A and B are shown apart, each in its own frame.
Chain A
Amino acid sequence: MNSAIRRLAVGAIILMLALMANSTYLQAFRSNELNGRNDNTRVRDEQFSVNRGPILIGSSPIAQSKETNDQYKYQRTYSDGPLYAPVTGYYSFQFGRGGIELNQNSELNGSDPSLAFRRVVDVLTDRRQQGASVTLTLNAAAQQAAYNALGSKKGAVVALDPKTGKVLALVSRPSYDPNLLASHDLGKASDAWKRLNASDDRPMSNRAIKELYPPGSTFKLVTTAAALSSGKYKPDTAVHSPAQLPLPQTTVPLVNENGKNCGGSDNATLTVALRWSCNTAFGTIGLDLKADALREQAEKFGFGERQLPELGAVASQFPGDPNEPQIAQSAIGQFDVRATPLQMAMVAAGIANKGEVMKPYLVQSVRTGDLKTISETKPEALHQAVSPEVAAQLTAMMTDVVNNGTGKPGRIDGVQVAGKTGTAQTSKERPPFAWFTAFAPADNPQVAVAVIIEDAGVKRDEIAGGTLAAPVAKKVMEAVLGR
């Protein structure tokens, strides 16, 4: 009888061992899989309850978690929410995250592998896990200036430090208040989400980096860069620039905006052509250089690559295989050429930085709660877009645009600005886009900026990059230069 009982005892132990083995499998080996499930509310609740690190400009927080008494323990709060929304993004319970809140999530909530040691210390000292702080490169004055200058106009502004690639301002209008989405009143957050997504103004679309626009005449900087780099052109080379340029394979000619020839000449110099933004002159150059030369030049400025991965920007494009009339249109930034405001700021910044395009970046540093630096972004060169000589020639020509040409509204007293205006057509029905891209001071550039105004709410014939967009760029540059 006892031997049977002993066998049962062994059997019982086997049953218990099976339970232990199964729990081990579940809790040690399957936990990552189960924790990653979308319907895992406890993980979502837990992450939403973390003391998330702040997002800083300098030492002032633009997004921070404040303690509350409700079940989520911390309320994400954005000071100047709409001003910084395109950068910070949002942090919501139901709708996930966006912007830096998304891209730097693991650092902000403290789960990043680089913070593993910190977490162990927190566990040992029984402190609640605290996320790291993320310091941005933004210049608060420039950001505010850009936001105010755009006012109620739909558009975007990007300002870069040409020497490093730091993003100094990144504004998109109309904007939204991420505080609404971060609300712990989930019903209100849900209403706000629905309203923002249903709005025709698309306040949550980041126009500065995620919308592609025809760059229009600002693209002539790329065409000019290609022309000068080819060796066939100098700033004083005369270019065929009639009022109307007949194009091969089509009866529709390329025309100048004002219907006249270029600065009173059918063969204006390259400098004059840029000064007055003559379409026919750049059409001629485009047909001469061919599509590949233009595309290669555009790609050296950053076209075809996703810039600013922190915010998930889209890549600007130059068309793949255009025919001759399409090449002429592309050379003036029409047809299928598409660029983000960030990309056009990079074009100006590349010229400003002696032809070297720096990789744009937004996150300056990541630090633990007790201010130990975990990572610090170092400036990184992207491409040598043009030689320093060509960059100097382009700078001189852009200075001329601001001093004598279409860019006059961008002038700043006592500072030499170099810039280029743009007016991009999309269709007959909708008003064109107004562009201005510039940098200053021309001899020692501190800031490069691109402005687009999508819909200024004024009549079509009044729109010109010079009058609409340049004053915005001017305000931003003044803010950076401390004027």
Chain B
Amino acid sequence: MSIASTSVIQIIPRTRRGVELMLLIVAIGVSVGAYVNIGITVQDKVPASTGYYAAGIGLLALIAHLALRYRAPYADPVLLPCAVLLNGLGVAMIHRIDLGLAATRVAKGLNPKAAAAPQQITWTAVGVVLFLLVILLIRDHRRLQALTYTAGLAGLVLLVLPLVPGLGVEVNGARIWIHLAGMSFQPGEFAKVCLVVFFAGYLVVKRDVLTLAGHRFLGLDLPRARDLGPIGVAWAVSLGVLVFEKDLGSSLLFFGLFLFLLYVATERAGWLIIGFLLFAGGAFFASQTFSHVQARVDGWLNPFAEDRGQVATGLMGQAWGGILGRGLGQGRPDLTLYGQSDFIISSFGEELGLTGIIAIILIYTLIIERGLRTALGCRDIFGKLIATGLAMSFALQVFVIVGGVTGLIPLTGLATPFMALGGTSLVANWAIIALLLRISDQARRPQTPAAPVSDETIAMAVQKQ
């Protein structure tokens, strides 16, 4: 299935690192602009921490960029700037809400709480370090295939870790957090990466049998009953997550990823339909049987019921933002419950308006589509499946959390990638972007390992003519 270079016309592969640098400068400029804007509107001055913030974001982005130049020169030029922009805007908004919360507490005569934004910048640094490790240590993603079952086991362990008594804690009704050494982590974020690797490795081996055996029914190629085993296991595990960790989002994410990869590996839509029916049935059963799932569904159908669910304040914030938003620093995102974490998208909706939300969703779309493009261009099946899985994990995660806070679907506790306050998710997402970049480097690299032609040499060639 690997795509040989079929083109007759010789395409000169370009590294596009110059483009990446330009986009990075734009992303950093927008983020720092947002930070300064917030300081001016809220505190009437350019905040003293601007230097720290700009240097932090700028330096981290630059290091990541240099690592790519050094180790993955053909990597996709759009992914890193998108990640930096989302991360930078997220920190700016977290800082803005820090200010809002502090003002409210001061007005009530209380001491302001510790600011969350510096903490998020620290986590960004950790994320970029992991990004560097992935880029520098994993020189070829295919070597991960050897770790298929290790990754599967690790993913499963990470998934059930919050269920370990004494380690796992329940936050807002979902048991997807663990407390360790005074800090809290969401192991599911890393389980996601491990499971994508596992699914990919597993399907590379099994895809032939899953593809070829089967029979047609009503125009659909349905698999044989005995091949249903893996999907059954995935279904059971995801329902287990739903029931025991009480988290519809994670459950949907894991099962969805498995289905998507199964579909890509076999190209048989029948799997998607079977999987969808299985999941819908399981979710319906759970919503009828388990009170916490029922509560989420009620909160979705009646967000303004008597004991106002978590969604109400976010919805009112977004409505208050309207089409153009109140302007950065001029709304009240501090009134939104979890406005820095789960509901950060509502905070953006309030201050940047519908326009801002759509822009942010478009940036996510860009990441997803660049990821899938990487999968299309990748020459090996394993890489295709991993890239697809990682890209679709963004799609599912953004859909589940943004859809949840804006009232499209029942709310579940997934993190808004790169933006939401929370270290685990941020670090895991930097690792995912690094993996995608690694695969895209391989996908875009000229096949005969000739001397890579960089933008600069082309420019020089043009000048010589």
Residues of A at under 8 Å CB distance from B?
Answer: 1-6, 8-9, 11-13, 15-16, 18-20, 22-24, 26-28, 30-31, 33-35, 37, 39-43, 45-46, 70-71
Q: Check B407 against A6 for contact (C-beta < 8 Å).
A: no
Distance of A50 Cα from B230 Cα, bound (Å): 61
Q: Knowing A16-B399, A19-B398, A22-B408 touch, does A34 contact B315 (C-beta < 8 A)?
A: yes
Distance of A6 Cα from B260 Cα, bound (Å): 12
Contact with A along B174-213 (1 / 0, CB 8 A): 0000000000000000000000000000000000000000
Q: Check A35 against B381 for contact (C-beta < 8 Å).
A: no
When distances are taken between beta carbons in the complex, the residues of chain A under 8 Å from B103 are 71
Could you show 27 A-B contacts with beta carbons less than 8 Å apart?
Answer: A1-B381, A8-B264, A8-B392, A9-B372, A12-B365, A12-B391, A13-B369, A16-B362, A16-B364, A18-B408, A19-B408, A20-B358, A20-B361, A23-B349, A23-B354, A23-B358, A23-B402, A23-B406, A27-B319, A27-B323, A31-B322, A33-B319, A39-B308, A40-B316, A42-B317, A42-B335, A71-B107
Q: Check A13 against B357 for contact (C-beta < 8 Å).
A: no
Q: Taking the complex as formed, is B104 at the interface, i.e. its CB lies under 8 A from any CB of chain A?
A: yes
Q: Check B376 against A6 for contact (C-beta < 8 Å).
A: yes
Distance of A63 Cα from B103 Cα, bound (Å): 27
Q: Check A26 against B315 for contact (C-beta < 8 Å).
A: yes
Residues of B at under 8 Å CB distance from A?
Answer: 1, 3, 103-104, 107, 260, 263-265, 267, 304, 308, 312, 315-323, 331-332, 335, 349, 353-354, 357-358, 361-362, 364-365, 368-369, 372-373, 375-376, 381, 384, 388, 391-392, 395-396, 398-399, 402-403, 406-408
CB distance from B45 to the nearest CB of A (A): 15
Distance of A46 Cα from B224 Cα, bound (Å): 62
Q: Knowing A19-B406, A23-B357 touch, does A5 contact B319 (C-beta < 8 A)?
A: no
Q: Check A4 against B320 for contact (C-beta < 8 Å).
A: no
Instruction: Select which of A3, A9, A11, A35 is within 8 A of B320 by beta carbon.
Output: A35
Instruction: Select which of B354, B384, B402, B408 is within 8 A of A5 by beta carbon.
Output: B384
Q: Which of B260, B308, B408 has the most CB of A within 10 A?
A: B408
Distance of A46 Cα from B334 Cα, bound (Å): 13
CB distance from A8 to the nearest CB of B (A): 6
When distances are taken between beta carbons in the complex, the residues of chain B under 8 Å from A46 are 320, 332
CB distance from A4 to the nearest CB of B (A): 4
Distance of A46 Cα from B267 Cα, bound (Å): 54
Q: Check B318 against A23 for contact (C-beta < 8 Å).
A: yes
When distances are taken between beta carbons in the complex, the residues of chain A under 8 Å from B3 are 2
Q: Knowing A9-B372, A23-B349 touch, does A16 contact B395 (C-beta < 8 A)?
A: yes
Distance of A328 Cα from B56 Cα, bound (Å): 91
CB distance from A29 to the nearest CB of B (A): 10
Q: Check A5 against B399 for contact (C-beta < 8 Å).
A: no
When distances are taken between beta carbons in the complex, the residues of chain B under 8 Å from A30 are 319
When distances are taken between beta carbons in the complex, the residues of chain A under 8 Å from B304 are 37, 39
Q: Which chain A residue shows the least CB distance to B106?
A: A71
Instruction: Select which of A1, A18, A23 is within 8 A of B399 by beta carbon.
Output: A18
When distances are taken between beta carbons in the complex, the residues of chain B under 8 Å from A9 are 368-369, 372-373
CB distance from B133 to the nearest CB of A (A): 28
Distance of A425 Cα from B33 Cα, bound (Å): 74
Q: Check A19 against B335 for contact (C-beta < 8 Å).
A: no
**8 extra interface residue pairs, beta carbon distance < 8 Å, beyond A9-B369, A16-B398:** A8-B260, A19-B406, A19-B408, A22-B406, A23-B358, A31-B322, A41-B335, A45-B332
When distances are taken between beta carbons in the complex, the residues of chain B under 8 Å from A6 are 372, 376
When distances are taken between beta carbons in the complex, the residues of chain A under 8 Å from B265 are 1
Q: Which of B103, B353, B402 has the most CB of A within 10 A?
A: B402
Instruction: Select which of B312, B362, B403 is within 8 A of A18 by beta carbon.
Output: B403
When distances are taken between beta carbons in the complex, the residues of chain A under 8 Å from B267 are 1, 3-4
Instruction: Select which of A8, A27, A37 is within 8 A of B322 by beta carbon.
Output: A27
